[in-house]
Structure 1
């Protein structure tokens, strides 16, 4: 049985482990943390990622957790809608919808699907030999036919494979995320855009609201009380924003600066190593596609490598694994993820507009476009959402992908 080592037990790493196991690989997932504590609070699993999860046998389980209801769209700080659509319209357009859930819930599902023997926690990877597939850790070495680097935005594996790449850069905004209990009232899923500021609020299962906010800030700026800082910046905006911020417990707020690639990698593989998720294509959160693209990566990688290694080429500068190989994985993922990275960065730039004239022009443009086409929001995302996974699940095992 071919052996794969996955570095990192985030969404991309766990998904890759499941996909490879379903393809017949012996998979070991290594995680540096002593216990899994998912970074962030909530996330959206869009149509494209739900289709990818279908190939892992998890799509319907995720769909059953939470589904966006009613109107969704973008508002002004005074509450006026700038652009909106409905979940029903999205369902008609794509025969599916977006699921909003706590990140920890998705991680628990993935761990369960991966199996009781994984991931191995508290293991630090100290080095990877891309030519031989040997993974060195603080507890010993692992020999692998395939190494999957899912070690995040600061990936040490990526830096070793592509030492000349500039890496992620600061996007100019800091972000806050949190979870707040809700009283059961209907809550539309919205983003509110102000002068350089953004606030999103979405109702999850069990009457919990996931919120996120971004604002212009110097990189590395520190705040003493993050809730007070949020109230200072957003407390005068429309309801329920002030109520959410008043209700959130300070320890449930996570703040981090936003970093992303300005320059894509030349490839997502070297030797026997493949990069997935934020290790391969860190992007701003503005399209809600970070986790979705990591899940796509996992499914495409498992399909590309098939049920085992065929041969290694040359001195390890490239590797062909299975019928299609890692070069095919890079080819399938690089252009798509680079396009989504650029689009997400463009939206981030639009949210950063601070000049009153520029903000007024942005609002007028969004409102006009929405009046001209009620499906503007859906049409703008069609290229992203209409993706479908490879026709068969990895190596033909498991359920067929949803077309």
Structure 2
């Protein structure tokens, strides 16, 4: 029987966290979905990530929140220190749980990818399958996508093709695109370090920071960020040695963890962000999602969280498959819901980055003094600052699932 617009599958371009979350959300909405990922495998790029309460609620809607909570490692307290080791602020993680109903959990990126893939029907994700938008479609015609199997039509295309999204450039050719934040980052996971960390959280220096986050199975996620020209790399090509040069004199256990790290597993990436908001997150029958729509600096730990939120909101806005094959009204609602929220979070992450970027000694002393005073405030006062982000509640797209 020939295909009709109602029976054509939704197409997702990109198999990262945002694309996989979108595929799972659409699947739970009752749509047939195909994910096209250009890489030969879904081996994730990255090391660890934070799942804040807002993201955990969205993952509950997708049916995988409980699995990720079971994998997460909790530490009784996290905080912020100077490179000397002096504490500026500490937060009781149980206070976060009480305040928001969930903690901020740290998981390996691979664990989140695996949870999303395992919840999808077999065959949903096609690797080594680059896809490119040919035509975004409109209210009268489906979108068309070029794939290795030929040109496909779909009533809905979700473009989760990352910060350098070719789809975004095609939909909004006059948008300036991502801008360099001024920061480069290093990330690695240390397996079973000789010196397990007793102190967890971030360390802020002058124009640089580092973080220590325990993961499941005795692993520790270690990361750094520092001001550097775009495209710069270690002179000898050894980014592990570069991390030791930059952070080897900072407080314990950071130098010890870095010495335990496998040099081959150190990743370096410049930080680019869409600091200029897009006019919309859709055009025709195509929705932009995750970094393709609102790439942000990592200083609030919300990049992956917002991509998962996008997926749930998009799926919830869509009509049921038997009701309509035209998603136009749903995509209008999606943009209206997501654009203001993500723009605020992008701006907030940029503002935190400006604090990290302070390089002068007097400026850093002033910044640290203000942080130390704020750190003496009750947990409730400090946590209320995160409330606009963390208290977000997801829509329902299917049968409720246990946490």
In the superposition, the TM-score normalised over structure 2's length comes to 0.93
Q: Which residue of 2 aligns with 1:200?
A: 211
Q: Which residue of 1 aligns with 2:158?
A: 148
- Structure 1 350/107 Cα, relative in aligned 2: closer, same or farther at 3 Å? same
Q: CA–CA distance in 1 between the matches of 2:313 and 2:401?
A: 14
Q: SS at the partner of 2:184?
A: strand
Q: SS at the partner of 1:114?
A: coil
Which moves more between the two structures, 179-188 or 25-34?
Answer: 179-188
Q: Which runs of 5+ in 1 are unaligned?
A: 313-318
Q: SS at the partner of 1:255?
A: strand
Q: Which residue of 1 aligns with 2:187?
A: 177
Post-superposition offset of 1:272: 0.3
Q: How many residues align?
A: 389
String of CA shifts for 1:257-291, please: whole Å, max 9, x gaps.
00001201010000000010000000000000000
Post-superposition offset of 1:183: 4.7
Post-superposition offset of 1:185: 4.1
String of CA shifts for 1:110-169, please: whole Å, max 9, x gaps.
111112212111111133310131111233122111000000000000000000000001
- Structure 1 2/24 Cα, relative in aligned 2: closer, same or farther at 3 Å? farther
Post-superposition offset of 1:222: 1.6
- 1:380 matches 2:385: yes
Q: Which residue of 1 aligns with 2:305?
A: 292
Post-superposition offset of 1:362: 0.2
Q: Which residue of 1 aligns with 2:106?
A: 100
String of CA shifts for 1:172-203, please: whole Å, max 9, x gaps.
01000000023584534310000101000100
- Structure 1 185/256 Cα, relative in aligned 2: closer, same or farther at 3 Å? closer
Q: CA–CA distance in 2 between the matches of 1:251 and 1:171?
A: 26
Q: Which residue of 2 aligns with 1:41?
A: 47
- 1:310 matches 2:310: no
Q: SS at the partner of 2:98?
A: helix
Q: Which residue of 1 aligns with 2:93?
A: 87
2:334 to 320, 325, 329: 329
Q: SS at the partner of 2:294?
A: coil
- Is the Cα–Cα contact under 8 Å of residues 51 and 401 in structure 1 kept in the other structure? no
Which moves more between the two structures, 363-372 or 271-280?
Answer: 363-372
- 1:19 matches 2:25: yes
- Is the Cα–Cα contact under 8 Å of residues 202 and 212 in structure 2 kept in the other structure? yes
Q: CA–CA distance in 2 between the matches of 1:98 and 1:184?
A: 24
String of CA shifts for 1:310-357, please: whole Å, max 9, x gaps.
365xxxxxx52xxx5100000010000000000000001110100111
Q: CA–CA distance in 2 between the matches of 1:124 and 1:60?
A: 32
RMSD (Å), alpha carbons: 1.6
Which moves more between the two structures, 91-100 or 42-51?
Answer: 91-100
Q: CA–CA distance in 1 between the matches of 2:198 and 2:154?
A: 48
Q: CA–CA distance in 1 between the matches of 2:40 and 2:150?
A: 17
Q: CA–CA distance in 1 between the matches of 2:213 and 2:382?
A: 17
Q: Which residue of 2 aligns with 1:315?
A: none
Q: CA–CA distance in 2 between the matches of 1:311 and 1:228?
A: 55
Q: CA–CA distance in 1 between the matches of 2:382 and 2:203?
A: 15
- 1:352 matches 2:363: no
Q: SS at the partner of 1:238?
A: coil
In the superposition, the TM-score normalised over structure 1's length comes to 0.93
- 1:66 matches 2:72: yes
